[in-house]
Structure 1
Amino acid sequence: MKIRPASGGGKIVEVEPERLPRWVANFAERNGGIANHHAECDAWTIESNEGTSASVTWTLADGLPADWLLDDDPLKAAEHLRDYALEPRRIAVLLARKGAYSVGILADGRVEVSKTDTAYVQGTTKAGGQSQQRFARRREGQAKAAEKRARDAVFAVLGNAEFDALITGGPVEGILEDPRLAKLHPAVHFGDIAEPKQALLTETAYRAIGFRITLPN
């Protein structure tokens, strides 16, 4: 599970889809049982007997329609959400980070097609004068070349493909500015990614079908 601070206070816990029913059961045990639960707007709210509440959203869609949750038993509701999250889907993933990229399509968690590459882009320098200017031009040229290769790869993999959702990670804005990719609109974006590799495509797609739970401190 990933845990990070929530804007405005509290924390956000990322829970894998299979773990949602167990998480809800543990929440009930820690907080004297569940007094009430209901769906409202894009969240499923669970209220404990001790006054603590948890707000659950589905990462991929940022919304949980109320008709998924029409069960008096919150554990049954969690099972319904788990099952929905794990339904077969075709998910496209695009990751980028400092000259490296990985792009692919996964069907039911398995990579069907992908392209991954790492290009050398020099870092910053403390040198001054003409040397710094030459260095900056060289670095800019390397970055542009790496971005062009990434754009071409993304178009080759995703340009004419059919998929249910696009998940992105890292600084992909420059890549998606390519006119050939105008139809690509990310459903979820993760800013905190590791070095783009094929294995990370699977991890990111799985992360996208999990749940985000907002809790008070």
Structure 2
Amino acid sequence: MSRTVEVAPARLERWVEGFAARHDGATRADVPGSFVLTGGDGSTATGEPFDHARIGVVLVRRGGHAVGRDEGGDLVAHTCGTAYVQGRTKKGGWSQQRYARRRGNQADGVIDKVSELALRHLEPGSVDALVLGGDRRMAEQVLDDDRLAHLRDLPRRTLWDLPDPRFAVLEEAARRARAIRITLEDASDRG
């Protein structure tokens, strides 16, 4: 069974040394966009850097949203906010349908708000890559806005495991965006 870890670029050399020490040495093979370490015991570590100078971050959930632009590890532009989107109701009938419509309208309002923020902070040419996080469906709906077409084909990293976006979550997302994702596979798992 494989597992994935995130390693800050500044810690990569030390992490590789530790991998080699734990797995009876290691050889490195560089392939376009990634690298593969193979330990003496047959274990592998496949690293995927996300090395971009300017990264746009769009985080959206029903309870909050955050949009930012990270340049070289610093958030140079950002906006965070909260929104109320009513939860589900268990009662049936007209009330349930009315609440479902209200919930849909409230969620649409959040998506519209995040689209406007993305237009303000992530204008064409201002970012080289994009990070999406939070609720997958809502984040993808933000990119459905034709005014954000310039963001759709950028290199992308996703962070669906984030909690409701706040400033601290936005900072964490920007930090994780720059981390090298390493997928580890032990020799015992491969045999």
Instruction: Using structure 1 for the length normalisation, give the TM-score.
Output: 0.75
Contact 2:36/2:47 (<8 A) preserved: yes
- Alpha-carbon shift at residue 53 of structure 1 (Å): 2.4
Q: For 2:35 and 2:125, how far apart are their aligned partners in 1?
A: 33
Aligned residues of 2:132 and 2:158 also touching (Cα < 8 A)? yes
The structure-2 alpha-carbon separation of the partners of 1:47 and 1:150, relative to structure 1 and needing over 3 Å to count, comes to closer
Q: Which residue of 2 aligns with 1:66?
A: none
Which of the numbers 91, 95, 103 marks the counterpart of 1:131? 95
Aligned length: 181
Quote the residue 1:16 is aligned against: 8
Distance in 1, matches of 2:42 and 2:113, equals 53
Alignment RMSD (CA, Å) = 1.9
* C-alpha distance in 1 between matches for 2:47 and 2:34: 5
Q: 56, 60, 75: which is aligned to 2:47?
A: 56
1:198 alignment partner in structure 2: 167
After superposition, where does 1:9-88 map in structure 2 within 5 Å? 9-34=1-26, 36-58=27-49, 60=50, 85=51
Query: Corresponding residue for 1:107?
Result: 71
Q: Which of the residues 148, 170, 173 maps onto 2:140?
A: 173
1:81-114 deviation line (CA, Å, top 9, x unaligned): xxxx5xx822211111115210011222222111
In structure 2, stretches of 5+ residues that fail to align are 187-191
Higher relative CO (Cα under 8 Å, sequence separation at least 6) belongs to 2
Cα displacement string for residues 188-212 of structure 1 (whole angstroms, at most 9, x for unaligned residues)? 1221112112232222122122112
CA distance in 1, matches of 2:5, 2:105: 40
**Deviation of residue 215 (structure 1)?**
1.7
Aligned partners of 2:63 and 2:164 also within 8 Å: no
Residue ranges of structure 1 left out of the alignment (5+ in a row): 1-8, 61-84
Q: Is the 8 A contact 1:151 1:175 kept in 2?
A: yes
Secondary structure at 1:125's aligned position in 2?
A: coil
What percent of counterpart residues are identical? Answer: 38
